[in-house]
Amino acid sequence: MSRGRVVAYSSSPLLASPTPVWRSKFIVAGIALAFVGLAGRAAWIQVFGNEFYRKQGEVRFARTLELPANRGRIFDRNGLLLATSVPVPSVWAIPEDVERDKAKLASLAKLLEISVTDLMKKLDVEDKNFVWLKRQVDESISRQITALDIKGIYLRKEYRRQYPEGEAAAHVVGFTNVEDQGQEGVELAFNKDLGGHAGSRRVIKDRLGRIVEDVGEQMPPVDGKDLQLSIDSKVQFFAYQQLKSAVVENKAKAGSVVVLDANTGEVLALANYPSYSPANRQNLTGAQLRNRALTDTFEPGSTMKPFVVSLALEKGLVKPTSMIQTAPGRITISGSTISDSHAHGDLTVTEVIQKSSNVGTVRMAMQLQPREMWELYTQVGLGQRPQVPFPGVVSGRLRAYKTWRPIEQATMSYGYGLSTSLFQLARAYTVFARDGELAPVTMLKTDTLAPGVRVFRAETAQEMRKMLHLVTLNGGTAPKAQTMGYSVGGKTGTAHKQEGRGYAEHKYRGVFVGVAPIDKPRIVVAVMIDEPSAGKYFGGDVAAPVFSATVQQSLRILGVQPDMNVKPQIVVKAVEESF
């Protein structure tokens, strides 16, 4: 094996030749310029152009996290929960970080109950840093999503409202949307107090969504205030069940019931049917959502007669025993004829109320001035929006008395030509329950006896209560309103429904409004059944039974002792009321 030739580098002509000084200087100058450029770039980024790069860094990695406030709870008057918030997970993503594994994304879409196409549309958005995939999912779903371990998919804690009383109290409590903002009922009316204020936390996140640093001062959330309503959930539930049964039994379109505490003006129950479940609001209709007791108006019919008769008593025009000629069962005013359902002949003022005579009421009304009737109706709250903080509350219709023609004054005396909500009507009847004082109403619990507005003398209201009591006895229009153990009094009303410019021939609203116990009233109950179509439509037949059952249960719940020792004697056939 031959040995390779050894090169003597020290003797190489190339290495032995001297290096030009300019080349060494050029290399050193190049390196120096590179350092100057790097230093200038660093100065630009850190000093002169810092604001731009800081903003770009924040866009990519800084996040402001909302710290949600706990929404206030809603209680009934006895401390039972009507609405509360529970923590639930929501699913969100950083679109640019999402792992595009087809199998995993298909499983995720199935858990989110959307198609893969819809999932991809959610991920292909302009904002590559955040997108909601689904709000407020069940815990079991969140665990399965976590188990998929998809990069870029995360869970965040939010709050969802729960409503233990369900459809029974739906129109009172209302509901919130996915952002925890009130949409209906008390949730909307008191949204500012219940909602509180969300806090915030500024953080830096890495590309995996992990928080690596807090930036700035953290603002803690301010939780919403709890709210205690005047509603008694037991009274509310029972009233709703009775109303629902009556609507179904009478094949009616809808119905409402209002229960007021005559002493304090508190709303103990406010129920409507059809209703809905606040926790499941899919495919809801306007008919289900409407709080009919507050938003729907109707002509109250004969339920207005006690006010006109009371005014005639107050003015000294008649006494309870005064005779009123109603024969031959009709009266003509300005060319229009007003009739009773039955010809009664001579009736006392008391019997005019007991038998609901249109003719007798009109004869008394025409002795009054239109201004006097208008002032009375206005005093008891008709034509005015009730002072309760509920969305959609209506004022009804009561025209100025200067425009009344004689026939209009006559029809208004028995409840045609004006309109009112059931809530307004219930409140108006507090003048009879409180010895002539109109009670203020409230949806919030109160322990004080609120002063009322004087409308009648106490003697007038007490005389009217005696007449209203006779309405529920043999010979009256509402024996089905009698209540086991308690004396009651009230007035029926049956009115044709308006349709276009006239009245529908076979569409009615049956109403009953009353007080109990009769000597010392504790509650006022108003019931309205809309379009009963099972053969019965008089208020004494369709609304009075709901009144009876609601009164009995409500007074027991409130601890009111029975004032009667005998069972009610309900006759087979009641006297039909005049419209």
Cβ(324)–Cβ(349) below 8 Å: yes
Domain check: are 265 and 150 in the same one?
no
Select which of 275, 302, 357, 578 is catalytic.
Answer: 302
At residue 257, does pLDDT exceed 50? yes
In a domain, 123, yes or no: yes
Domain check: are 395 and 420 in the same one?
yes
Q: What is the tally of structural domains in the chain?
A: 2
Summarised one tens digit per residue, pLDDT across range 336-389 is: 999 998 888 899 999 999 999 999 999 999 999 999 999 999 999 999 999 888
Q: What is the CA radius of gyration of the chain?
A: 38
Cβ(511)–Cβ(495) below 8 Å: yes
In a domain, 136, yes or no: yes
Range of the domain at 351: 233-280+296-557
Cβ(513)–Cβ(491) below 8 Å: yes
Kindly give the interhelix angle for 305-314 and 358-365, rounded to the nearest 10 degrees: 40
Domain check: are 524 and 399 in the same one?
yes
Domain check: are 514 and 528 in the same one?
yes
At residue 236, does pLDDT exceed 50? yes
Summarised one tens digit per residue, pLDDT across range 294-344 is: 999 999 999 999 999 999 999 999 999 999 999 999 999 999 999 998 888
In a domain, 395, yes or no: yes
pLDDT of residue 41: 75
For the chain, give the mean pLDDT. Answer: 88
End position of a domain, from candidates 228, 253, 269: 228
Tokens of 306: 């006690």
Q: What is the CATH number of the domain that holds 180?
A: 3.90.1310.10
Q: Could you tell me the pLDDT band of residue 83, with boundaries at 50, 70 and 90?
A: very high
302 is a catalytic site residue: yes
In a domain, 8, yes or no: no
Cβ(81)–Cβ(142) below 8 Å: no
In a domain, 15, yes or no: no
Domain check: are 519 and 459 in the same one?
yes
Q: What is the CATH number of the domain that holds 466?
A: 3.40.710.10
Summarised one tens digit per residue, pLDDT across range 453-466 is: 999 999 999 999 99
Q: Which residue has the tokens 């209906």?
A: 184
Summarised one tens digit per residue, pLDDT across range 1-45 is: 445 555 555 566 655 666 677 777 788 888 888 888 888 777 777
Q: Which of 95-104, 227-236, 419-428 has the lowest mean pLDDT?
A: 95-104
pTM of this structure: 0.83
Q: Which of 208-212, 287-291, 322-326, 384-388 has the lowest mean pLDDT?
A: 208-212
